[in-house]
Amino acid sequence: MRRVLAIAALTVRGAVRSRVLLILGLMLAVAVVGLPLTVRGDGTIGGLVQIMLRYALGVAFVLLAVAMVWSGCAGIATEVRDRQIQMVTTKPVRALEVWLGKWIGLLALLAVLLGGAGFAVFGLLHWTTRPGAIEEADRARLRDEVLVARAEIPAIAPEVDAPARAEFERRRSAGELPADRPPEEVFRMLRRTMLAQAFSVPAGGRNAWLFRVPRRPAPGRPFLLQFRFEKSVLDLEPVRLRWTFEAADGTQRRETVGEYRPRAVYTIAVPPEALGPDGRLRIGCEHIDPVPASLLFEPGDGLVLLQYRGAFAGNYARAIGVLFARLAFLTALGLAAGTLFSLPVAGFASVSGALLILLGDYIERLARAGVFFGAGPDAGWSAAVVNRFLSAVFRALSFAIQPLRGPDPLDLLATGRWIAWGLVGREMLIQVVVYGGLLALCSAAVLRRRELGLPA
Interface with other proteins (CB under 8 A): 2-3, 5-7, 9-10, 13-14, 17-18, 82-84, 86-94, 448, 451-455
Residue 108 makes CB contacts below 8 A (sequence gap 6+) with 8, 11, 12
The DSSP output letter for 224 is E
How many residues appear in the chain?
456
* CB nearer other proteins, residue 7 or residue 142: 7
Q: Name which of 60 and 100 has its Cβ closer to other proteins.
A: 100
Residue number, 5 or 248, with CB nearest to other proteins: 5
439 vs 447 by CB, closer to other proteins: 447
Distance from C-alpha of 454 to C-alpha of 456, rounded to nearest angstrom: 6
DSSP string, 177-208: S-TTS-HHHHHHHHHHHHHHHHTEE-TT-EEE
Q: From the CB of 2, what's the least distance to other proteins, in Å?
A: 6
CB of 450 to other proteins, least distance (A): 9
Q: What is the nearest approach in angstroms of other proteins to the Cβ of residue 96? A: 10
Is the sign of the CA dihedral 102, 103, 107, 110 positive or negative? positive
| Closest CB to other proteins among residues 89, 331 | 89
445 vs 422: CA distance, rounded Å? 32
Q: Check if the beta carbon of residue 333 is closer than 8 Å to that of residue 177.
A: no
What lies within 8 Å, CB to CB, of 101 at 6+ separation is 3, 4, 5, 6, 7, 8, 10, 11
The residue among 198 and 446 lying less far from other proteins, judged by its C-beta, is 446
Residue 83 C-beta: closest distance to other proteins, Å: 4
Task: Compute φ and ψ for 438, nearest 5 degrees.
Answer: -60, -45
Q: Give whichever of 165 and 448 is closer to other proteins, judged by the CB atom.
A: 448
CA distances from 383 to 36, 217, 292, 391 (A): 52, 57, 47, 12
Nearer to other proteins, 355 or 454 (CB): 454
Q: What percent of the chain is helix, strand and coil (3-state, nearest 5)? A: 60, 15, 25
Count of CB atoms within 10 A of residue 23's CB? 12
Q: How far is the CB of 403 from other proteins (least distance, A)?
A: 33
DSSP 417: B
Using DSSP's 3-state secondary structure scheme, residue 131 falls into: strand
Q: What is the DSSP letter of 216?
A: P
Could you give the count of Cα atoms lying within 13 Å of 100 in the half-sphere of its Cβ? 17
Q: Which is nearer to other proteins, 342 or 382 (CB)?
A: 342
